[in-house]
Amino acid sequence: MSNFLENYQYFPDMEIIGKQIDTIQSNLEHWLSPEILTKCLSMIDLTSLHSTDTMSDIAVLVEKVNNFKGKFPKYPYPASICVYPNFSETIKSKLTAEGVHITVVSGGFPTSQTYKEVKCLESELAVKNGADEVDIVLALNKFLDNDFDACTEEIKAIKSTIGDKTLKVILETGALGSAENIAHASFLAMEAGADFIKTSTGKLEPAATPMAAVVMCECIKRYYEKTGRQVGFKPAGGMKISKDAACYYAIADTILGEKWLNNKFLRFGASRVTNNILSDLEESTITYY
């Protein structure tokens, strides 16, 4: 672990992290403007990951996205629709909203407890059937067993399988146990080829936290400074209200800066927050999604 932290000269300090979070949260009104909340809508991966999801359910969700501009012409489409991989073809056949991507969770989501070959095949099939982006989970069984080479090889294999499609690696930060582990996993994933690093699956608690977000963004910053490759950041899980989205936007803004404040490099894995942002912007209760 120390090699990654030494290589990038980042050693998370909880006191410093706490002060960073306190400063951001005490000035959060700055990021709660209608302009920024509208921008946040364009960064959302609109997600449906229920065991009971059906083709009909996903088709209804896609139609809501397709019709969004007719209902809310002032606001942008979400960045993508995020589903299980078997629904990628359903979305592709029905999606007409311009610029909206198809995102799938793959690789044995949400536990990553399966064979590397299965993870690669699942990701390959999802892309073949229309997926633009693939979200996988870091192999925690290997990471927590200190088998970091196996983690790296697996991410590289999946990235090679999906080619130029976007690969997001979910760290499941709530299970990693420490800021140092979060930093180590962040650097490992980026070095292995991740296009985004993502906090959580939303299936375990805690999901996204400001602490994890600060550590991950600090790692992205240092990785960019050392390599020149810009990696995206995606907090996911637990976001419910506009303040939650504004907080993570503020962390990215403060640490990473303007280059990251677009949906090519900043995403929110959330669904509930979408209606709440719309409600705050419209100053009335919106339950569109």
What confidence tens digit (pLDDT) does each residue in 81-136 have? 999 999 999 999 999 999 999 999 999 999 999 999 999 999 999 999 999 999 99
With respect to residue 131, please indicate whether it lies within any of the assigned structural domains.
Answer: yes
Helix axes 242-255, 210-227, angle to 10 degrees: 30
Give the other-Cβ count within 10 Å of 288's Cβ: 12
Say if residue 216's pLDDT is above 80: yes
With respect to residue 98, please indicate whether it lies within any of the assigned structural domains.
Answer: yes
Name the residue among 225, 226, 231 with its Cα closest to residue 266: 231
173-to-155, 197, 236, 256 alpha-carbon distances in Å: 17, 11, 10, 20
**Cα gap 265→221, rounded to integer Å:** 12
With respect to residue 240, please indicate whether it lies within any of the assigned structural domains.
Answer: yes
Catalytic choice (142, 159, 165, 198): 198
Contacts of 92 (CB under 8 A, 6+ apart): 102, 129, 130
With respect to residue 289, please indicate whether it lies within any of the assigned structural domains.
Answer: no
pLDDT at 271: 84
Domain that holds residue 265: 2-282
pTM given for the model: 0.97
Tell me what the mean pLDDT of segment 272-285 comes to. 96
With respect to residue 125, please indicate whether it lies within any of the assigned structural domains.
Answer: yes
With respect to residue 247, please indicate whether it lies within any of the assigned structural domains.
Answer: yes
pLDDT at 2: 60
With respect to residue 228, please indicate whether it lies within any of the assigned structural domains.
Answer: yes
Domain CATH for 256: 3.20.20.70
pLDDT band at 149 (very low <50, low <70, confident <90, very high): very high
With respect to residue 287, please indicate whether it lies within any of the assigned structural domains.
Answer: no
234 in active site = yes
| Domain count within the chain | 1
280 in active site = no
Catalytic choice (135, 195, 244, 253): 135
pLDDT at 1: 54
Catalytic choice (45, 234, 244, 253): 234
119 in active site = no
Say if residue 156's pLDDT is above 60: yes
